Chains A and B, each alone.
Chain A
Amino acid sequence: MSEPGTFFHLHEEDPVEAYENFKLGMWIFLATEVLLFGGLFAAYFIFKFIWPDIFEAGSSHLNRFLGGLNTLVLIFSSYFMAMSVDAAQRSQQKKLIRNLALTLFFASGFIIIKGFEWIPKLNHGITPGSDVFFSVYYMTTGLHLLHVVIGMSFIGLLLKRAIGGRYHSENFGGVEVGGLYWHLVDVIWIFLFPLLYLI
């Protein structure tokens, strides 16, 4: 598929250049993610300003323990992601695979805990259409959850490739860029948690 003249043909890439491009591309993509959530954050502040009572009442229905636990779980997950990048840079294959697996483990923990939060609420008739607070709550946490799932598939791909021995000190760009995305998902939650649960 790489004969010149067939149009699957890619120009031979310099790995260092490709890595630099990839990283810059991801940073720009993260900027778009921030703006995507930025709209929701703006809506949060506007509605909280107009309806402080609805927001106080809504917030008191949220389970702070589960929210806090989820924060902790995500921070652990982010820690192991950072350790995966470190392991990849040092060509420590086993450590890399273990750390990626742990990242995935904590990420799935986040989803399960989120389920324990959402399902009882929906059973009690607290839905996205209840009031504007819960519209914001389900929309922000839901979109964030979607990002957790996307991040997990990315990390799953990294894990599969790591098992195939693809990453080492000369080639760790994939892990690093995947890590960038995962940390952003984490950071968004760090903002969501206090805004929705604590204040």
Chain B
Amino acid sequence: MSTHSENTHYLEAKGFNNWFFSVDHKRIGIMYLVAILFFFILAGIAAMVVRAELLYPGQQIIDRHGYNVAFTLHGAMMVFLFIVPGIPATLGNFCLPIMIGAKDVAFPRLNLLSFWIYLLGAAIIVFSLIGPPGESWLDTGWTLYTPYSVESSSGVIPVTLGVFVLGFSSILTGLNFVVTIHKMRAPGMTWHRLPLFVWALYSASLIQILATPVVGITLLLLVMERTFQIGFFTASLGGDPILFENFFWFYSHPVVYIMILPAMGVVAEILPVFSKKPIFGYRAIAYSSLAIALVSFFVWGHHLFVSGMSDWSRWVFSLLTFAVAIPTAIKVFNWISTLYKGSIQLDSPMLYACAFIFLFTIAGLTGLPLATLATDVHLHDTYFVVAHFHYTMQGGTVIGLLAGIHFWFPKIFGKMYSEKRARIGFWMLFIGFNATFMPQFVLGYMGMPRRYFDYLDQFATLHFMSSIGAFINGIAYLYIFGNLIHAVVKGRAAEKNPFGSLSLEWTVPSPPPLTNFDEIPIVTDWTYGYGTEQTV
């Protein structure tokens, strides 16, 4: 395999035009990374405002309406602008073509187009969330439930259109990845030799392709409802507000797996590298990604258990929701078996990967009482749900993203961050995160409803703990990003393969040359042969 390259590395050309008009998948990945982290910080600030308001009972820094706006801003930006593009558009864009031995994705121009569409959608959303004169800030919650979203005087239409536009970006990225994985694999890169991150991206892309159009039509109907007074969701015309919830969750539940599957893929890449052992149960992990993608389409009803649903549909949806636990547990057991008797090195990517397993297991297990009909009646729309999905989204996806960023950072930037500070940042985050959301499980169990501006005195201690945790959490992110930004500017040069990975992206220089490979490599084995004769 040729590793030495006369090819200039991809970061060489400078200037705005060389970035903004670049069809290089690596540059597009980095532009996405900068964009989503920007919105992550904005949405994070909104979260800090929410937690500051909830520090003590009664009004603290904003009024009731301001509180509704703050949690809407937090939810809408986190979901649509940060976590859905999240890992696939950033690390996926960067790594996927190199990992399968290709020079780029199948449609490089379409890739750039989907980034531009993302920016357009983001601009519309930010403008309409905070900008439009005469309209108040969006206060519907990120779920945009009817009938309130039809009646609310806030800027529902522009936000909805913005999300609709973002949908195109998501679909085009998914489409691009699927075609790339089908058609652009290097000779010898068979399906069963694909890195597990690629399998995860493939499964997530399928969901992106198949679920996003449904939210597209739903949002379009919502816009029509407000502009032409059509009656899909209006009871007085024969429509049904609950239909919106069904449509919305038909997308928004699968989308949870768009967020989490790539993170699972990242973890599957990191574990064997840092335990110097072949991944355990390769095929089980690969196919469980597909299984999760498949089942994800049939569980949306569990969001409507208390919205008025027949007993029949309730128990079917409950059963199907439990079914998701099977492929998920298969993954967790295989990851743990990979660690078993490995020679484990707890570098920062590995710390994040292990934290992912730990936190995601909590997330999964607390999902079960929510899938159980009887307990869900008690827990529905309480802080228990808030804690549960923050364990999946932050404890799962964000931790997975950070694991991936720390893992591929030397490859992406050709620089090395301070490992010591990376570990300090990790522990701050781990402590802050658990301090934020552990109390929320208890709050929810005690009956604290989500999205409330005020609360009874009996909840005060736990809310206070949660808010303090959230501030630690927020500071941890600043510290972690500070460490990484410092490394981009002043970090020492990274080696080609600092962690001793066998995957293709580590056979090219850091940072990789413009066209990735001088010659397309020929693949003869899978990438997980650690501790065997394949070891580097």
Contact = CB atoms under 8 A, between A and B. Distances in A.
Interface string B123-146: 000000000000000000000000
Nearest to B178: A28
B210 A31 contact: yes
A25 B176 CA distance: 7
A138 B183 contact: no
B449 interface: no
Interface in A96-140: 127-129, 131-133, 135-136, 138-139
Contacts of A8: 21, 23
Nearest to B218: A39
A32 interface: yes
Interface stretch (B223-231, B262-270, B384-392): B223-231
Given A6-B13, A50-B238, A33 B213 contact: yes
A32 B23 contact: no
Interface stretch (A40-48, A60-68, A70-78, A182-190): A40-48
A199 interface: no
Interface stretch (B103-111, B348-356, B478-486): B103-111
Contact of A46 (B109, B171, B231, B240): B240
B533 interface: no
Interface in A1-60: 4-11, 17, 20-21, 24-25, 28-29, 31-33, 35-40, 43, 46-47, 50-51, 54
Nearest to B182: A24
B247 interface: yes
Contacts of B514: 4-5, 9
Contact of A11 (B212, B218, B228, B515): B515
Contacts of A6: 13, 18
A136 B230 CA distance: 8
A21 B213 contact: no
- Tell me the dominant secondary structure on chain A's binding face: helix
Nearest to A39: B217
B237 A132 contact: yes
Contacts of B515: 4, 11
Nearest to A18: B106
A36 B23 CA distance: 29
Nearest to A132: B238
B179 A28 contact: yes
B216 interface: yes
Interface in B167-185: 171, 175-176, 178-179, 182-184
Contacts of A47: 238-240
Nearest to A135: B230
Nearest to B180: A21
B411 interface: no
Contacts of B23: 7-10
Contact of A21 (B12, B179, B217, B238): B179
A129 B237 contact: yes
Q: Which of B182, B214, B238 has the most chain A CB atoms closer than 10 A to its own CB?
A: B238
Contact of A132 (B179, B184, B231): B231
B22 interface: yes
Contacts of A133: 238
Interface in B1-52: 8, 12-13, 17-19, 21-24, 27
A33 B216 CA distance: 10
Given A35-B210, A40-B217, A128 B103 contact: no
A135 B227 CA distance: 12
B19 A138 contact: no
Q: Which of B13, B183, B237 has the most chain A CB atoms closer than 10 A to its own CB?
A: B237
Q: Which of B106, B216, B217 has the most chain A CB atoms closer than 10 A to its own CB?
A: B217
B372 to A, nearest CB: 28
Contact of B238 (A38, A131, A143): A131
Nearest to A11: B103
B433 to A, nearest CB: 35
B214 A25 contact: no
Contact of A131 (B22, B108, B179, B237): B237
Contacts of B113: none
A139 B221 contact: yes
Contacts of B178: 24, 28
A129 B231 contact: yes
Given A39-B217, A135-B239, A10 B175 contact: no
Nearest to A17: B183
Contacts of A29: 171, 175
Contacts of B221: 39, 43, 139
A9 B23 CA distance: 7
A135 B231 contact: yes
A33 B176 CA distance: 16
B260 to A, nearest CB: 21
A143 B209 CA distance: 19
B228 A127 contact: yes
Nearest to B515: A11
Interface in A149-167: none
Contacts of A51: 238
A5 to B, nearest CB: 6
B243 interface: yes
A128 B217 contact: no
A12 B179 CA distance: 18
B232 interface: yes
A36 B216 contact: yes
Contacts of A38: 213-214
B213 A132 contact: no
A10 B243 contact: no
Given A5-B514, A32-B212, A129-B237, A39 B247 contact: yes
A36 B216 CA distance: 7
Interface string B90-129: 0000000000000110111110000000000000000000
A33 B168 CA distance: 12
Interface of B: 8, 12-13, 17-19, 21-24, 27, 103-104, 106-110, 171, 175-176, 178-179, 182-184, 209-214, 216-218, 220-221, 224, 228-232, 237-240, 243, 247, 250, 514-515
**Sorted from nearest, which 8 A-B pairs have the closest CB atoms?**
A132-B238, A7-B22, A129-B229, A39-B217, A135-B230, A36-B213, A35-B213, A128-B230
13 contacts: A11-B104, A21-B179, A24-B183, A28-B179, A28-B209, A35-B211, A35-B213, A35-B214, A50-B240, A132-B231, A135-B232, A135-B237, A143-B217
Given A128-B224, A129-B237, 16 more contacts: A7-B22, A11-B103, A24-B182, A29-B175, A31-B210, A32-B171, A32-B209, A32-B212, A35-B211, A35-B213, A36-B217, A39-B247, A51-B238, A131-B237, A136-B232, A139-B224
